[in-house]
Every structure is written in C-alpha cells, then in structure tokens.
Structure 1
Amino acid sequence: MAAVLEAGPLPDEPTGDAATSGTPSAPATLTPVPSGTGLKPIERLTSDTRYAKIIPDSQQLTALQYSSLFTRTFVRSDFNFCATKISVARGGKLRALDKTLRETSDWFTKALAWVEQHRARNLPWPCETIELEVKRPLTGQLVRCLSQYERLFKRAIETRNEQKLGDERCSAMIANAEKKLKHIVQVCIPDNDQYDADGNRRES
C-alpha cells in the first residue's frame, strides 16, 4: 500500500556543522530477527558512523514497531541522517525543524482522530521492532511521528477493509502522511547558514 521513499542526499562527511569534540560511541549493532511482516530485517542504518560522532545531550534507546515498507525504508535510509542534522541544528534551522515536527505530529493526531470515528475493529498485525538511538528531544519527536504514521497506516487499512473508507481516500491519506515525513528530510538537508533566524529558508 505505502510507497517506497526515495532516500534524500546522504553526504559521507558533515558539512561544517557536526560535533567535533568528545569521544563518540560506536554505531549500534542491529540483530535482524525475521517476523511475519514479509519485510526484510534491517541489518544496518545508513549514516550510522556519522550519527555515532554526535555527542548526546541525553542518550536513550527507543523501540519502534513497524509493519509498513515505508517506515522500514525511512528508518534504514533517512533516520540517522535526520537525527544527525537535528543534533547539529542551530538558530533558524532548529526553529524550522521544531515547527515542522510539531506540525507533522499535529496533522497525524487530527488524521487519526478522523479515522477512529469510523470505529473499525483493531486487528493484530505482525510487526518488526527496532531500537533507535535518541540523542536530542527533537529526534524523539521524529520517532513519535513515525509511530503515528504506523498507527494511521494500520487504522486506515482496517477502516478500508470494513468498507467504511474508499480505496482512493485510503490511498490518498497514506500518501499525504508519507509526504509529511518526506518533508522532514527536506528540511534537514540544508546547512544551518541556509536558514534565517525566524526559521525561513534563505533565498538563493
């Protein structure tokens, strides 16, 4: 159902705004555990070496459960890239990321509330579980958005399967949800100096 996300640019080296002090931890080792989702287990996240160089404000592991191909692709290809960019964001870029993540989470909250009004049955879904390293509060907000996407993905399909939601409406809702998450990647890409103090992108 969900489209595969095309990964955004992932530079091999930081562009002047990565942490350079302290002793970075080694990238986490992932243990693939097959399940009934049919999704290939994630063996390694892209940009794990770059993210390992970031010195955390407070470090924790957060478990994310997912059943969709979109979330698997986003986590494997884009999570560490976004988490690294969030960690080194300053000034206007930090404001832009904070606004984008809050607006995305609010959109998911409203979309979920609308879907839940149809009162479709909650069905058991096979899922994968991965532990994600969170070094900044905004990275935790990104994990929350991914969890909200998973909830919306499942509830939209359950509602469609009970014929309480049309195929086109279901597909459009999931596609819009994916666009919201892809937009976060786009906000992460420019360096800090590409944003004004108010969080708006500078004109080139």
Structure 2
Amino acid sequence: MSVTDMEVPEEKSKRTAPLTSDNARESGLRPLQRLTGDSRLARINGDTLAQTELPYHSRFAREFLRGDFNFAAAKMTVARGGKLLAIESEFRTAEAWFKKAMVWADALPKRQTVVYPEMVTLQIKHAMSGRLVRLLTIYDQLFLKTMGALLARAVSAESRQRALEAGEARISKIGYLCIPDNDCFAPEGVLLSGPSDHTEH
C-alpha cells in the first residue's frame, strides 16, 4: 500500500469518550456493559433477527461498539433513498480499502503474541449491520497483524498508526452517514447538509 492509501478521509464522526483503565482485565479493555442506542434498536423490526458474539481486541472497536454500533444499526434499518445509496457506497469504499490493507498486513513479517479478546453480543437486524460487524472484525485483525509486525520491527509505529487511523476513519465515516435523516440526502446519494442538528445518540 502506498502512503496515500493510508490517509484519513476528510470527514470523521465524533469519537466517543476515551477509555479509562479502571477495572481493566487481561485484554486491557473494560468489558462492555451496555451499548448506546440499544433501546432504539430494540424498537425496530428488522429484515433479519439474528445475533452474533463478536470478539474484539482494540480500543477503537470497543469505543465504536459502545457508542456508535447500535445507533448506526438502527439508522441503517430505516435508511431509504439517497441515504441508503450513500451508506452502501461508503461500505464498498471501506471494504475495498480493508481488502488492500489486509494484503499489505499479511505480507509483513510478524512475531506471535497472545492478546485476549473481550466479547460482546450484537443484534443483527439488517444486512448492512452484518457488513459493519465484518468491517470491525477485519479492523481488529489489522490491529493484531500490525501489532505482530511492530514487535518484529517490520513496520514502524508511525506507519502502523497511520494504517489504523485510516481504517478507523473508513468505519467512522459509515457511522457519520447514518446520523442525518433520510431527507438530508439527494436521490443520487449526496449528503445535502451536515449532521450537526441530528446528533441524537
């Protein structure tokens, strides 16, 4: 991957509150007790009624799951028209980026290290929710693979951080597009106005 492939997109969603070290377990992350937006998602009758157990290792995955996943999943379920097109387009962009990133990460020499995951149960009520889970899973794999490469001195801390931040931005952009209402998008999937008035988490 080139340096430009690692660049962060211009628009990024607001991050959730930083993780503290209180009650940290072996993974270094606090287990998730509650996900923001779970009551909103519970009220929606989705296309599918499935749930999955997701292991996660990274702080970004934890913060996104805690603060953004259920909200985004609920919004995806009711997205229509231009908003649906915009979200689907951003998924394709993110999936293509992660495909290249994983080819890059797989080629790096690595040292084996044991990192214990935390687990969270997620409700999947729409196909795009499943796609979001897959992206978070791939991001976590990128996090672990580049950690092993860093230990093997096959990648610099700066290059690893740049790759992780670019991946984080790709996932955050999807959450960002979920915030505005359907009528904030043109039929062709262009966001007409910013989400500043629709930040209801």
How does the TM-score come out when normalised to structure 1? 0.81
Work out whether 1:188 is the aligned partner of 2:168: no
Equivalent-residue separation in structure 1 for 2:47 and 2:193 (angstroms): 32
Q: Root-mean-square deviation (CA), in Å?
A: 1.7
Q: Which amino acid aligns with 1:61?
A: Q
Amino acid paired to 1:156 = T
User: Counterpart of 1:142 in structure 2: which amino acid?
Assistant: L
Matches within 5 A, 1:169-184: 169-184=159-174
Instruction: Classify the secondary structure of the residue corresponding to 1:54.
Output: coil
1:38 aligns with 2:38: no
Q: How many aligned positions are there?
A: 175
- Which shows bigger deviation, 115-124 or 64-73? 115-124
2:107 corresponds to 1:117: yes
Measure the CA separation in 2 of the matches of 1:178 and 1:127: 19
User: Following the alignment from structure 2 to structure 1, what is the Cα–Cα distance between the partners of residues 69 and 124?
Assistant: 10
Residue 75 of structure 2 contacts residue 178 of structure 2 at CA under 8 Å; is this kept in 1?
A: yes
Q: CA deviation at 1:54?
A: 0.5
Report the alpha carbon displacement of residue 122 of structure 1 after superposing the two structures with TM: 4.4
Does the 8 Å CA contact 1:92/1:197 hold for their aligned counterparts? yes
Equivalent residue, structure 2, for 1:148? 138
1:6 to 9, 15, 25: 15
Which residue number corresponds to residue 44 of structure 2?
A: 54
CA shift for structure 1 position 127: 0.4
Matched AA of 2:97: W
Residue 119 of structure 2 is aligned to residue 129 of structure 1: yes
Q: Which residue of 2 aligns with 1:23?
A: none
The farther-off stretch of 122-131 and 132-141 is 122-131
**How far has the Cα of 1:162 moved from its partner?**
0.3
**Structure 2: runs of 5 or more not aligned:** 1-13, 18-23, 195-201
Gaps of 5+ in 1: 9-33
Q: Take 1:59 and 1:170, find their aligned partners in 2: how far apart are those partners? A: 37
Instruction: Kindly indicate whether residue 153 of structure 2 is the aligned counterpart of residue 163 of structure 1.
Output: yes
Q: Deviations over 1:5-58 (max 9, x none)?
A: 7239xxxxxxxxxxxxxxxxxxxxxxxxx8520211111111111110110211
What TM-score, normalized by structure 2, do the two folds share?
A: 0.82
Q: Secondary structure at the match of 1:39?
A: coil
Shift of 1:126: 0.4
Q: 2:122 aligns to what SS in structure 1?
A: strand
CA distance in 2, matches of 1:203, 1:174: 28
> Residue by residue, what CA displacement relative to the aligned partner does 1:125-158 show, whole Å, maximum 9, x if unpaired?
2001111100000110000010011000111111
Partner of 1:20: none
Give the conservation status (yes or no) of the 8 Å contact 2:86–2:190. Answer: yes
